[in-house]
Amino acid sequence: MNKLSLSSTAALSNGVKMPRIGLGIFKVEKEEELLTAVIAAIEIGYRSIDTASIYGNEEWVGEAIRQSGFNREELFITSKVWNSDQGYEATLKAFNTSLKKMGLEYLDLYLIHWPVEGKYTETWRALEDLYKDGKIKAIGVSNFQISHLENLLKTAEIKPMINQIELHPKLAQTELRDFAAKHDMHIEAWAPLMQGGLFENGVLNELAAKHGKSVAQIVLRWHLQNGIIVIPKSTKPHRIKENADLFDFELSQPEMELIDSLDAHLRVGPDPDNFDF
C-alpha cells in the first residue's frame, strides 16, 4: 500500500494511465488565481488537471500548461461536455471549441458532464468517434447512476473508462463502485473533501490527530486506499501541497471501516436522478 505516490496511476480499460491524484479547478474564476494554482500543482508533482467547459477557465488551463514548461505528453488534461451542448453534432463542436480554447491538439480524458435524458447516448457516440479519431486518449462519463450506465451500455460500442461522481465519506457510493468494478470502469471522486464539509467531523479529527496529518489528508488517503481517483480543488499552493502529501502513513483496515461507517448518503451537489439544468 505504501508504494502509492504522487506519480501513481490507474490503468484504464484501454491501457491509458491516469494519475491517481489531480487538481480540481471548479469555481476558479480568476485568471491569476488559476495560473498560480495550476503552475504550483505541476511544480509540486501533480500531472492531472480537471476542468470543464462550464467552468469557463479552459483558456487559462492552456496558458498554465504553456507557462509550466512541461511537455504536453507529461500532463493529463480532462474536460467535459456541458449539458446544453449534448447530442452528436453539438458535442463534436463543443469538443473542438474546448480544444481550441486550451490550444491543445488532444485531450487525455473527455467526459459527459451530466446524464441529460434523451441526449446522452448520442453524446456518447460523438465521444466514441472522437476517441477513434485519436482526439481523446480516454472517454468517460460523470454523474451517471447505475440506471444511466445500464442504459448507455445497451448501445455503447466502447464502455466508459471513468465515471466521475460525487464521493466522500458522507456519500460512499458503494453500489456504483461495485458496478464500476464489474465493468472495468474507474471511479473518480468529485468533491472528495465534500467541498470543505468534513473538517469539523469528530472521527476524522481523531484520526488526523493520531496520524499527525490533517483531516483533508486522512480523507484523501481513504479514497486512495479504496482505489478511487481524486481531484481535490484548492487555489492555495500550501493546500495543494498538503493534498498530495499522503504517502508517509497508512490507514489500517479498522480505520478504513470507521471512515466507511460515516456514510450518510448525503450529497452536497445535485442529484443525478433529479436535476434541471
Find out whether 78 and 108 touch, Cβ atoms under 8 Å: yes
Residues at the interface with ligand NDP (CB under 6 A): 24-26, 50, 113, 142-143, 164, 190-196, 214, 216, 231-236, 239, 242-243, 269
Q: Which residue is nearest to ligand NDP (CB)?
A: 24
Toward ligand NDP, which CB reaches closer, 28 or 92? 28
| CB 274 to ligand NDP: min, Å | 15
Q: From the candidates 46, 55, 110, 131, give the one annotated as an active-site residue.
A: 55
Q: Is 55 tagged catalytic?
A: yes
| CB 166 to ligand NDP: min, Å | 7
| CB 233 to ligand NDP: min, Å | 3
Cβ-proximal residues to 149 (8 Å cutoff; 6+ apart), any chain? 141, 160, 163, 179, 183, 185
Toward ligand NDP, which CB reaches closer, 164 or 225? 164
Toward ligand NDP, which CB reaches closer, 99 or 215? 215
Toward ligand NDP, which CB reaches closer, 160 or 192? 192
| CB 196 to ligand NDP: min, Å | 4
**Active-site residue numbers?**
55
